């Protein structure tokens, strides 16, 4: 399968080329030329298959023979072998028509493990085939960084540099990154917010001389291959609730828009998704967009759900590309204007299309604490990001956004122990870390610091990467 850029000036590339490139050379994001589609009967046939088998079947469709279904299934089985629940992504009932999809059974107890564990194996395969080494550069608001460093640590063909906003991730998130002590693994605290970290990454990818010199690649959700494994759990959750003969809605705590865009792709592939609910915290740029039809950047305000403290959602560009009939030139102009002015509006027809599938809600810190307390009273303790998603699910059912009888899957994106302060505030009890992380806060830290500038990070990468 070929991949093209959302800005129309790069591609087509094959799957492994797009994987290793990460960000398109015109500044856009790669998407498949077409989305592979499953028929009703093909989806029904997945019922009863293992998680790895479903992953192999779905993801192989995006590689067009570069990786066949059997090899893809084997890679997925290896990636998820160490997950602590045999179902990999178990679905648990909460109340009413709400079901919680637990995406925290991987090594770093966050949903990013589902993509990152697979991605490290995909990189290994591609780099071996190409006889190359690579530098991976990523930005994180917390979970991506820990999952990436865990998955890629010690891999001979990769040096990985993860930028995180200094003082704006949880103590557990930071220690998960800074306790990784392996050759080629670098956690870098940047003096700024997540948007600053993300801007540095994009700037260095657009420095083509530097990019080519170090074979720069990405594991953020700007990399299409990061999104691909996330499509899988939309299918497994929907199948568990009766798909394809029953429609399902999903409520997704949303920051960089990658997780919910995976749901959009699942719907394009034939999965009967009635509604995708975008759940935001006080940094509600996405909610305001779906309400008003305009994207307006504001200042990031720290919250109890720091992984959602974002004002520039990179993956939204992919949805923009689809809403504008895949007109790369229009997308490029809008993104240029947005970078300069912090605002853009979409035509009425595009907004009508967006609202046909997406709804959006926001929740402030007080509401987040209240939702954690409420869900705990129902027998399920949520982290603050998952609480935002569950609250949005409750409201979507209550106001009729989701039709009666349609189950809503709320994605639980992290274990509550990753955000102990918020959970303790809500419940009065500190959630314990899983046994494999019980000593995490006593592990020594290893990290670098950098100013919020592309020049500072560029010099760090050139100085610290291992020789080819």
- Could you tell me the pTM of the whole model? 0.92
Query: Do the domain assignments include residue 189?
Result: no
Q: What is the 3-state secondary structure (H, E, C) of 237-265?
A: HHHHCCCCCCCEEEEEECCCCHHHHHHHH
Categorize the per-residue pLDDT at 429 as very low, low, confident or very high, splitting at 50, 70 and 90.
very high
CB 96 within 8 A of CB 396: no
pLDDT of 312 reads 84
Could you say which of 92, 112, 418, 446 is catalytic? 112
91-93 and 98-102 strand pairing:
antiparallel
Residue ranges with strand state E in 392-460: 408-412, 448-450
Domain residues for 258?
Answer: 91-109+224-427
* pLDDT value of position 433: 92
3-state secondary structure 156-213: CCEEEEEEEECCCCCHHHHHHHHCCCCCCEEEEEECCCHHHHHHHHHHHHCCHHHHHH
Read off the pLDDT of residues 119-144 as tens digits, 9 standing for 90 and up: 999 998 999 888 889 999 999 877 78
- pLDDT tens for 359-388 read 999 999 999 999 999 999 999 999 999 999
**Percent of the chain residues past pLDDT 90, beyond the cut:** 85
Whole-number average pLDDT of the chain: 94
Write out the H or E segment, with its range, that includes residue 367. helix 365-377
The domain tally of the chain equals 1
CA distances from 229 to 111, 143, 206, 393 (A): 11, 16, 26, 23
User: What contacts 324, CB < 8 A, 6 or more positions away?
Assistant: 330, 331, 334, 346, 350
Say if 395 falls within a structural domain: yes
- β-bridge partners, 345: 294
Residue 211 lies in a domain: no
* Longest CA span, the chain: 60
Pair type for strands 216-217 and 358-362: unpaired
Q: 244 preceded by cis ω (within 30°)?
A: yes
Question: Would residue 169 count as lying in a domain?
Answer: no
CB of 31 within 8 A of CB of 3? yes
Q: What is the CATH number of the domain that holds 97?
A: 3.40.50.1100
Provide the sign of the torsion angle of the four alpha carbons 251, 255, 260, 264, taken in this order.
positive
Q: Cα(105)–Cα(434) distance, rounded to whole angstroms?
A: 10
Per-residue pLDDT tens digits for 63-117: 988 999 999 999 999 999 999 999 999 999 998 899 999 999 999 999 999 999 9
What size, in residues, is the chain? 468
pLDDT tens-place string over residues 264-317: 999 999 999 999 999 999 999 999 999 999 999 999 899 999 889 888 888 999
- Burial letters 383-409, b for 16+ CB under 10 A, else e: bbbbbbbbbbbbbbbeeebbeeebbbb
- pLDDT tops 80 at residue 395: yes
Spell out the residues 6+ positions from residue 185 whose beta carbon is closer than 8 angstroms to its own: 149, 152, 153, 154, 159, 160
Phi and psi angles of residue 450, each rounded to the nearest 5 degrees, phi first: -150, 150
What per-residue confidence (pLDDT) applies to 154? 82
Q: Dihedral through CA 192, CA 196, CA 200, CA 205, nearest 10?
A: 150
How far is 292 from 284, CA to CA, in rounded Å?
Answer: 12
Task: Tell me if 292 is assigned to some domain.
Answer: yes
Domain for residue 245, yes or no?
yes
Q: Tell me, what's the pLDDT at 10? A: 94
Q: By C-alpha distance, which of 152, 153, 174, 154 is closest to 163? A: 174
| Domain annotation covers residue 287 | yes
Confidence at 3, pLDDT banded by 50, 70, 90: very high
Predicted local distance difference test score (pLDDT) of residue 460: 97
Strand (E) or helix (H) holding 397:
helix 384-398
> Distance (Å, rounded) from C-alpha 195 to C-alpha 198?
5
**Nearest to 416, CA basis, from 95, 102, 93:** 102
3-class DSSP assignment, residue 59: helix
Using pLDDT thresholds of 50, 70 and 90, give the confidence band for residue 194. Answer: confident
- pLDDT bracket for residue 411 (50, 70, 90): very high
d(CA 306, CA 142): 8
Residue 373 lies inside a defined structural domain of this protein: yes
- pLDDT per residue over 214-273, tens digit each? 999 988 788 999 999 999 999 999 999 999 999 999 999 998 899 999 999 999 999 999
DSSP alpha helix (H) spans, 2-138: 15-21, 40-44, 51-60, 69-79, 112-130
Establish whether 92 is a catalytic residue: no
């Amino acid at each position: 399968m070929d991949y093209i850029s959302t800005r129309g000036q790069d591609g087509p590339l094959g799957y492994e080329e797009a994987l290793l490139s990460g960000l398109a050379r015109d500044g856009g994001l790669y998407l498949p030329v077409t989305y592979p589609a499953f028929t009703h009967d093909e989806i029904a046939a997945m019922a009863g298959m293992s998680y790895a088998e479903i992953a192999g079947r779905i993801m192989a469709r995006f590689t067009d023979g570069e990786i066949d279904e059997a090899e893809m299934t084997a890679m997925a089985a290896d990636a998820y072998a160490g997950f602590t629940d045999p179902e990999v992504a178990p679905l648990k009932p909460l109340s009413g028509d709400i079901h919680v999809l637990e995406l925290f059974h991987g090594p770093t107890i966050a949903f990013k493990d589902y993509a990152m564990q697979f991605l490290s194996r995909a990189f290994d395969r591609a780099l071996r085939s190409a006889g190359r080494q690579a530098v991976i550069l990523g930005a994180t608001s917390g979970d991506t960084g820990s999952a990436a460093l865990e998955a890629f640590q010690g891999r001979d063909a990769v040096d990985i540099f993860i930028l995180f906003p200094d003082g704006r991730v949880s103590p557990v998130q930071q220690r998960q990154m800074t306790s990784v002590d392996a050759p080629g693994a670098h956690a870098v605290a940047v003096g700024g917010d997540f948007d600053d970290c993300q801007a540095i990454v994009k700037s260095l990818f657009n420095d083509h001389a530097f990019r080519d010199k170090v074979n720069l690649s990405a594991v953020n959700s700007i990399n299409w291959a990061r999104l691909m494994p996330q499509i899988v759990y939309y299918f497994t959750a929907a199948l568990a609730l009766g798909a394809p003969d029953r429609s399902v809605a999903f409520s997704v705590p949303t920051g960089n828009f990658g997780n919910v865009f995976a749901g959009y792709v699942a719907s394009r592939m034939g999965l009967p998704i009635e509604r995708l609910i975008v759940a935001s915290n006080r940094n509600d740029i996405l909610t305001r967009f779906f309400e008003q039809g305009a994207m307006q950047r504001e200042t990031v305000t720290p919250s109890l759900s720091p992984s959602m403290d974002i004002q520039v959602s990179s993956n939204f560009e992919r949805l923009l590309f689809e809403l504008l009939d895949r007109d790369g030139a229009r997308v490029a102009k809008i993104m240029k204007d947005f970078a300069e002015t912090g605002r853009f509006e979409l035509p009425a027809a595009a907004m009508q299309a967006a609202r046909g599938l997406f709804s959006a809600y926001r929740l402030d810190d007080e509401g987040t604490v209240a939702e954690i307390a409420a869900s705990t009273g129902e027998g399920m303790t949520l982290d603050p990001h998952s609480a935002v998603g569950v609250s949005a699910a409750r409201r979507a059912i209550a106001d009729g956004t989701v039709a009666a009888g349609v189950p809503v899957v709320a994605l639980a994106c992290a274990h509550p122990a990753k955000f102990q302060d918020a959970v303790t505030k809500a419940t009065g009890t500190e959630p314990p870390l899983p046994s494999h992380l019980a000593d995490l806060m006593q592990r020594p830290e290893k990290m670098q610091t950098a100013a919020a500038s592309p020049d500072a990070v560029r010099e760090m990468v050139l100085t610290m990467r291992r020789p080819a």
